[in-house]
Amino acid sequence: MLCCSSCYGRKCRCRTSRHSPKTRHAKTPAGPRPLHDFTKEQVLNVQDFGAKADGKSDNFQAFKKAWDKACASLVSTKILVPKDKTYYVKHINFSGPCRSSISMEIQGTVRSFPEMYDTPRRLWIMFEDVRNMDVFGGGTIDGNGEVWWANSCKIKKTKPCQSQSAPTALTFKNCTNLRVSNLKLVNAQQMQVNFQDCNDVEASKLLVVAPAESPNTDGIHITRTTNINVLDSEIRTGDDCVSIVNGSRNVEVRNIVWTRPWHQKSAVQVENVIYRNIRGTSASKMAINFKCSQSVPCRNLMLQNVKLTAQEKGEKVEAFCSQLAMQTLNQNSFPSCPTH
């Protein structure tokens, strides 16, 4: 389903592909493939580098030491976060480039401290400039975001928004050949997962959860990223399910279950947007929903080569369009909004 607003309080299943604002014929993202031979890799346990699951220690140094050794290794290396352990970190940047393929198996829990504190560039955990990486393991990344939500400008209306920006929980920046799978991400301070300037990405089997009242907790945010699959995941957050913004090409979002009862009352101007080269099926009759603000209607929207059909054979899909101002064009697209 292609949405300009939300499916408030109900589950949405989306199947879209080839969101391509810049190219007419995009390359289909590659399917999952092994990054390295796991039977020959060395394993580094963060506990061997001083990590303490005592509920009070900042494990930044232990995680960083394990990462630096893995990144410098000439053989494939896995960093292990052990099962049934919870490790607190204030913030950490796992940076490359690395000399060989690298993976992080999170079996336990990585958790933020339950208070507000300074984070560099408003990022809690970031992987940057890394190729051939796999992050997986069945564990949990817990942003512990309650105190950040309580101090959000959307909750405390008297405080300016710019001074209340909370960190993104998990960021991948300038990464290539990346796999993120089988993880639970909960209670992000703001955005849950951010893919920025990445290429050849698969994010699958993720459970992304935040309370309905948590502001700005987008599930998965994609910006300036090429060839990315978001697959077979469940997202229950206080904001957008999957948000795709400028410069992203060849994006496939498939088999996503989304629940979002949170309704934001704020309005923003949406204008000069092109939806191009999108194929998919919709689980609901309303395949396209442009539900714009009455106070600031949408302006200059264009659908080019967008084809959405019903998931069930024989069913029909429709487009719902309200509060559209100025020109709205449909070129070789179905379903479509009435043109003005």
Nearest to 137 by CA among 196, 176, 210, 79: 79
Is the pLDDT assigned to residue 336 strictly greater than 90?
A: no
On average, the pLDDT of the chain sits at 81
CA angle (143, 144, 147) in 5-degree steps: 120
Query: Active site residue: 142, 200, 218, 239, which one?
Result: 239
CB atoms within 10 A of CB 87: 23
Q: Report d(CA 40, CA 178) in Å as an integer.
A: 20
Q: Residue 9: its pLDDT value, please? A: 36
CB atoms within 10 A of CB 339: 9
For the record, the structure tokens of 50 come out as 């001083």
> Judging by beta carbons within 10 Å of its beta carbon (0-12, 13-18, 19+), is residue 208 exposed, middle or buried?
buried
User: What number of H helices and E strands is found in the chain?
Assistant: 2, 24
Q: Residue 21: its pLDDT value, please? A: 36
Is the pLDDT assigned to residue 254 strictly greater than 50?
A: yes
Is the pLDDT assigned to residue 118 strictly greater than 60?
A: yes
Nearest to 192 by CA among 136, 124, 245: 124
Is the pLDDT assigned to residue 271 strictly greater than 80?
A: no
Indicate if 19 belongs to the active site: no
Q: Residue 160: its pLDDT value, please? A: 58
Is the pLDDT assigned to residue 220 strictly greater than 90?
A: yes
Phi, psi angle pair for 169, to nearest 5°: -70, -55
**Hey, what amino acid is at 21?**
P
> Judging by beta carbons within 10 Å of its beta carbon (0-12, 13-18, 19+), is residue 210 exposed, middle or buried?
buried
Q: Report d(CA 141, CA 107) in Å as an integer.
A: 10
Q: Report d(CA 307, CA 137) in Å as an integer.
A: 36
For the record, the structure tokens of 72 come out as 């410098």
Looking at the DSSP assignment, which residues form a beta bridge with residue 260? 8
Is the pLDDT assigned to residue 333 strictly greater than 80?
A: no
Pairing of strands 131-136, 176-186: parallel
Q: How far is CA 304 from CA 76, 159, 277, in A?
A: 44, 41, 6
Q: Report d(CA 41, CA 56) in Å as an integer.
A: 32
- Residues 319-335: what's their mean pLDDT? 72
Domains of the chain: 8-20+38-261 (2.160.20.10), 270-340 (no CATH)
User: Do residues 124 and 189 lie in contact, with contact meaning Cβ atoms separated by under 8 Å?
Assistant: yes
260: which DSSP letter?
A: B
Maximum average pLDDT range among 16-30, 154-168, 179-193, 296-310: 179-193
Pairing of strands 42-45, 77-81: parallel
Return the minimum-mean-pLDDT range out of 7-21, 53-67, 108-122: 7-21
Q: Residue 28: its pLDDT value, please? A: 45
Q: Residue 304: its pLDDT value, please? A: 84
Q: Residue 87: its pLDDT value, please? A: 98
Is the pLDDT assigned to residue 93 strictly greater than 90?
A: yes
At 10, the pLDDT band (50, 70, 90 cuts) reads very low
pTM above 0.85, yes or no: no
**Hey, what amino acid is at 184?**
K
Is the pLDDT assigned to residue 203 strictly greater than 70?
A: yes
Q: Residue 29: its pLDDT value, please? A: 46
At 294, the pLDDT band (50, 70, 90 cuts) reads confident
Q: Contacts by 213-216 with C-beta closer than 8 Å and gap 24+? A: 213/149, 213/238, 213/262, 214/145, 214/149, 214/187, 214/188, 214/238, 214/239, 214/262, 215/149, 215/152, 215/154, 215/155, 215/239, 215/264, 216/152, 216/154, 216/166, 216/190, 216/191
Q: How far is CA 113 from the centre of its chain?
A: 22
Indicate if 239 belongs to the active site: yes
Q: In terms of pLDDT, which residue wins out, 57 or 5?
A: 57
Greatest Cα pair distance, the chain, in angstroms, is 65
Q: Residue 255: its pLDDT value, please? A: 85
